């Protein structure tokens, strides 16, 4: 069982592991989440000056969020765009699965078996948007994407760990109330015993600090934790007196790895409440871009050659067995770096060498259709239950309460070994595993689940990975090199941000490239060498 | 299970076109735009491999001779694809690979390897793989010259540690495994690969169809 909260972690380890979930801002912290993109978080989006009759053509390779962002901004400024997409669909890793959708996983092709109903959809890729992701939210606002709240943290969800509570699921509400109680008690008692921080701390501070510890843990007047209604009542509490639940003993709480890992998930900057998600599925953002674009997106176009030319870029691609070549002033390349590494090109060797060293993000998500919204019978509406098994998480839909059926997220792991294990299974084995493991969280889980989809991102055709994996060393030596243009070729996508796996990274990478094109066009119009 | 699945896919005719890949262009996603290999995916150069060897390896993946070990993520990737292909699709894929025009490969030289020592070690290889690394169809030994050095290192290690050649019905794999085990360490593997790397590619003469 290899799981990210297998062993107690230092804060640094914890943050670096959680960063794999696509939350690198937690690691970067106050250094500025977009330090290397040179665009402040609150900057207004790139404004390209209208070409005013000049003829400029841009080839955009890939119709995910970065490609769509670039196409939208370029079209508005009068650039001619050609958008080539290798797969059968638009959106990249913004993948909302519904009835009948084709899931193009190498070796495990599936057709989404969900019932045909508007509420039965599954965000197999991007799923949530924090409020400080102002780039993607800019497009949600200006293109009319309706948002709803999305919850990572729901106290009524469960934590399950075979090492604690006889493997029984425990409400997060109870676990956290007890954990805070004991922490509060320990804090209050060590403060009264004179254990001090290495900071100036007067009597008044001490008094306030003890009050804080009392409030933090909901301690009684003797600064002792004896249970709290924060954990919910064992019985009563509305028309009859509430009976408190017995606190679980601290050693038992500590046997669960929840306290060293997932309990703090929603503390991460990108994962903290309040989060948002588009109503009806994340692909509402893709559809919003498509409503604006006049350039048709050409599907099934697989790039086979990228050649820098003195005045532009030539790209050859395969479409239905035929080879075509297009030339343009600029090429915005959103193809995953690990695939560019296998495409014939005359890009600088050091530039391609960095691409071939980037790791392939391994992530697996499983979506399950439930006959009944059984979680609502357990007072759960939205949020995440956590388990130490490979499935790691169960998500409950934040939308369409009380409808007949619903789609659960039945597994989501960003631990590479876990994702490898899921990848090695057939689709049916993955579903069986998700159901068997989910049964430890919800008894009778199996009888509620009708069908499901599984998406191993490292196996998805034309992607073969989810979010580039930069080592710290490679980031130092290679990030700026890849971020800079090679001739008139720009590599883009969330892979060229410090937010791999987030739409915000994709938007910002596009803005970064567009800002450079704008700079070069300005130079060109003044007659200078760009 | 696969048959049931296929029937289901056939019924879903709206998406059928998307699920069937004309000209096996799936191959080029991993193996590079001209099947020349891709180091980032650890996918080998297919253009140097003759039809009989490609066919043999499809069999190897389908028979669980390759891709059976839990840690062999790359082998498992190819195995998953091989398992979804029928014999006709395999022949289509091989024909598709044959049509790819050879491209020049980037040269990466291992400066810490001893080519002379590698040449000595290669003495035992050449009986099957040929003095020029050209391969031998009768002996079911693939050509080596022109293959990426990182792939040769990877596969020698795979034979050595039992990821390949560890199944009783895989006789050719078992033979190769014995030779790989005779290479004492990583340096020996690097040396023999450096020597193979110095051999000129015999690619054009190996093409069995235009």
pLDDT tens digit sequence for B18-59? 444 444 568 999 999 999 999 999 999 999 999 999 999 999
Edge-to-edge strands of the sheet including A129-130? A129-130, A275-278, A147-150
- pLDDT band (50, 70, 90) for residue A529: low
Q: Which residues have a Cβ under 8 Å from the Cβ of A476 and sit 6 or more positions away?
A: none
B30 with A464: Cβ contact below 8 A: yes
Q: Distance between CA B149 and CA B152 in Å, rounded? A: 5
B80 with A320: Cβ contact below 8 A: no
Dmax (CA) of chain B:
60
Q: Which residue is associated with the tokens 């992530």?
A: A363
A224-265 pLDDT, tens digit per residue, is: 999 999 999 999 999 999 999 999 999 999 999 999 999 999
Contact A457, A20 (CB under 8 A): no
- pLDDT band (50, 70, 90) for residue A426: very high
B26 with A106: Cβ contact below 8 A: yes
Mean pLDDT along residues A62-82: 97
What tokens appear for A384 in the block?
A: 């995440």
Put simply, whether B31 touches A (Cβ < 8 Å) is yes
DSSP state of A460: B
What tokens appear for A361 in the block?
A: 């993000």
pLDDT at A171 over 80: yes
Q: Which residues of B touch A462 (CB under 8 A)?
A: 29
Nearest to A109 among B30, B84, B106 (CB): B84
B33 with A102: Cβ contact below 8 A: no
Q: Distance between CA B40 and CA A343 in Å, rounded? A: 11
Contact A505, A36 (CB under 8 A): no
A109-140 pLDDT, tens digit per residue, is: 999 999 999 999 999 999 999 999 999 999 99
What tokens appear for A8 in the block?
A: 């107690």
- Residue B93, helix vs strand vs coil: helix
Q: Distance between CA A525 and CA A514 in Å, rounded? A: 16
Q: Indicate the pairing of strand A96-97 with strand A57-61.
A: unpaired
A338 with B9: Cβ contact below 8 A: no
B14 with A338: Cβ contact below 8 A: no
What tokens appear for A262 in the block?
A: 């997932």
H or E stretch at A110: strand A110-111
B34 with A344: Cβ contact below 8 A: yes
Q: Report the chain A residue with the minimal C-alpha distance to residue B23.
A: A321
Q: Is the backbone of residue A379 left (phi > 0), alpha (psi -120 to 50) or beta?
A: left
pLDDT at residue A196, as a whole number = 67
Dmax (CA) of chain A:
83
Q: How far is B178 from chain A (nearest CA, A)?
A: 28
Length of chain B equals 210
Nearest to A461 among B26, B83, B103 (CB): B26
Give me the residues paired with residue A330 across strands.
A58
Q: How far is B66 from chain A (nearest CA, A)?
A: 13
B76 with A424: Cβ contact below 8 A: yes
Residues above pLDDT 90, as percent of chain A: 85
Q: Which residues of B touch A429 (CB under 8 A)?
A: none
pLDDT at residue B110, as a whole number = 76
Helical axes A65-76 vs A503-525, angle rounded to 10°: 30
Q: Which residues of B touch A109 (CB under 8 A)?
A: 9, 19, 84
Q: How far is A480 from chain B (nearest CA, A)?
A: 20
pLDDT at residue A29, as a whole number = 33
Q: Distance between CA A384 and CA A172 in Å, rounded? A: 10
CA distances A337 to A62, A297, A460, B139, Å, are: 12, 21, 15, 39
Task: Identify the CATH number of the domain defined by range B23-102+112-203.
Answer: 1.10.760.10
Q: Which residues have a Cβ under 8 Å from the Cβ of A442 and sit 6 or more positions away?
A: A169, A374, A375, A378, A394, A448
Contact B201, B37 (CB under 8 A): no
Give me the residues paired with residue B141 across strands.
B136
A53-68 pLDDT, tens digit per residue, is: 899 999 999 999 999 9
Q: Distance between CA B5 and CA A113 in Å, rounded? A: 12
What tokens appear for A444 in the block?
A: 């009778």
Mean pLDDT along residues B66-86: 94
Length of chain A equals 530
Between chain A and chain B, the number of residue pairs with CB atoms below 8 A apart is: 110
H or E stretch at A61: strand A57-61
Q: Distance between CA A125 and CA A317 in Å, rounded? A: 26
Nearest to B81 among A107, A339, A344 (CB): A107
Q: Distance between CA A452 and CA A286 in Å, rounded? A: 24
Q: Which residues of A touch B31 (CB under 8 A)?
A: 342
pLDDT at residue B204, as a whole number = 52
Q: How crowded is the C-beta side of A207, counted as CA atoms within 13 Å?
A: 3
Q: How far is A374 from chain B (nearest CA, A)?
A: 29
Q: How far is A438 from chain B (nearest CA, A)?
A: 23
A464 with B103: Cβ contact below 8 A: no
| Sequence ranges of the domains in chain B | 23-102+112-203
B29 with A343: Cβ contact below 8 A: no
A-contacting residues in B 54-113 (Cβ below 8 Å): 70, 73, 76-77, 79-84, 103, 106
- Residue B58, helix vs strand vs coil: helix
- Residue A481, helix vs strand vs coil: helix
Phi and psi torsions of A53, nearest 5°: 90, -20
Sequential DSSP letters for A261-323? TGGGGGGSTTTSSSEEEETT-TTHHHHHHHHH--SPEE-SEEEEEEEEETTEEEEEEEETTEE
DSSP state of B133: S
Catalogue all structural domains in chain A, each as residue range(s) with its CATH number.
11-32+95-157+272-282+362-459 (3.90.660.10), 35-90+285-355+485-525 (3.50.50.60), 172-255 (1.20.1440.240)
Q: Mean pLDDT check: name the lowest of A145-154, A412-421, A517-526.
A: A517-526
Helical axes B186-198 vs B149-160, angle rounded to 10°: 140
């Amino acid at each position: 069982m290899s799981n990210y909260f297998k062993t107690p972690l230092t804060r640094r380890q914890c943050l670096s592991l959680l960063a794999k979930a696509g939350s690198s801002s937690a690691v970067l912290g106050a250094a500025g989440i977009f330090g290397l993109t040179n665009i402040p978080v609150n900057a207004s989006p790139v404004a390209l000056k209208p070409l005013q009759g000049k003829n400029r053509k841009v080839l955009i390779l890939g119709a995910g969020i970065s490609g769509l962002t670039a196409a939208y901004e370029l079209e508005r400024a009068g650039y001619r765009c050609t958008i080539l997409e290798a797969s059968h669909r638009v959106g990249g890793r913004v993948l909302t699965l519904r009835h009948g959708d084709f899931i193009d996983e190498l070796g495990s092709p599936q057709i989404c078996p969900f019932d045909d109903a508007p509420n039965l959809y599954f965000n197999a890729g991007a799923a949530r948007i924090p409020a400080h992701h102002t780039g993607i939210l800019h497009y949600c606002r200006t293109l009319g994407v309706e948002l709803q709240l999305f919850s990572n943290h729901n106290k009524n969800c469960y934590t399950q760990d075979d090492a604690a509570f006889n493997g029984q699921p425990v409400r997060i509400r109870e676990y956290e109330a007890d954990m805070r109680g004991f922490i509060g008690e320990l804090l209050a008692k060590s403060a009264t015993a004179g254990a001090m921080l290495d900071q100036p701390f007067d009597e008044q501070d001490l008094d306030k600090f003890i009050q804080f510890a009392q409030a933090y843990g909901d301690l009684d007047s003797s600064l002792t934790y004896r249970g709290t209604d924060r954990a919910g009542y064992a019985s009563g509490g509305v028309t009859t007196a509430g009976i408190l639940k017995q606190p679980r003993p601290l050693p038992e709480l500590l046997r669960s790895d929840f306290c060293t890992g997932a309990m703090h998930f929603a503390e991460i900057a990108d994962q903290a409440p309040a989060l948002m998600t588009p109503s009806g599925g994340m692909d509402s953002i893709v559809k919003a871009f498509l409503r604006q674009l006049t350039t048709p997106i050409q599907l099934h176009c697989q790039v086979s050659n990228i050649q820098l030319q003195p005045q532009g870029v030539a790209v050859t691609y395969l479409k239905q067995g035929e080879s075509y070549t297009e030339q343009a002033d600029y090429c915005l390349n959103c193809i995953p770096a690990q695939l560019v590494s296998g495409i014939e090109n005359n890009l600088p060797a050091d530039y391609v060498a960095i691409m071939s060293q980037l790791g392939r993000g391994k992530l697996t998500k499983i979506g399950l259709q439930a006959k009944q919204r059984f979680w609502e019978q357990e007072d759960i509406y939205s949020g995440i239950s956590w388990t130490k098994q490979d499935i790691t998480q169960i998500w409950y839909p934040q939308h369409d309460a009380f409808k007949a059926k619903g789609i659960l997220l039945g597994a989501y792991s960003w631990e590479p070994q876990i994702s490898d294990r899921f990848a090695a299974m057939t689709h049916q084995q993955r579903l069986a595993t998700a159901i068997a493991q989910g049964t430890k969280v919800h008894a009778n889980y199996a009888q509620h689940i009708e069908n499901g989809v599984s998406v191993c991102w490292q196996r998805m055709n034309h992607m073969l990975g989810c979010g580039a994996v930069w080592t710290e060393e490679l980031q130092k030596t290679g990030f700026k090199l890849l971020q800079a243009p090679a001739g008139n070729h720009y590599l883009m996508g969330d892979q060229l941000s410090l937010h791999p796996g987030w739409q915000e990274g994709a938007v910002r990478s596009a803005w970064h490239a567009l800002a450079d094109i704008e700079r070069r066009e300005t130079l060109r119009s003044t007659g200078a060498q760009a | 299970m696969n048959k049931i699945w296929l029937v289901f896919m056939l019924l879903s005719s709206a998406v059928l076109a998307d699920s069937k890949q004309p000209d096996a262009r799936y191959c080029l996603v991993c193996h590079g735009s001209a099947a020349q290999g891709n180091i980032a995916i650890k996918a080998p150069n297919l253009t140097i491999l003759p039809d009989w060897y490609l066919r043999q390896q499809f069999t190897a993946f389908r028979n669980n001779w390759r891709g059976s070990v839990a840690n062999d993520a790359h082998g498992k990737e190819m195995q998953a694809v091989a398992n979804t292909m029928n014999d006709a699709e395999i022949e289509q894929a091989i024909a598709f690979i044959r049509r790819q025009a050879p491209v020049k490969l980037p040269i990466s030289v291992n400066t810490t390897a001893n080519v002379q020592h590698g040449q000595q070690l290669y003495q035992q290889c050449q009986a099957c793989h040929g003095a020029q690394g050209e391969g031998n169809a009768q002996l079911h030994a693939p050509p080596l010259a022109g293959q990426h050095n990182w792939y040769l290192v990877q596969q020698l290690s795979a034979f050595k540690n039992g990821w390949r050649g560890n199944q009783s019905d895989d006789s050719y794999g078992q033979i190769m495994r014995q030779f790989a085990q005779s290479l004492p360490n990583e340096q020996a593997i690097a040396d023999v690969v450096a020597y193979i790397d110095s051999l000129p590619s015999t690619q054009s003469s190996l093409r069995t169809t235009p």
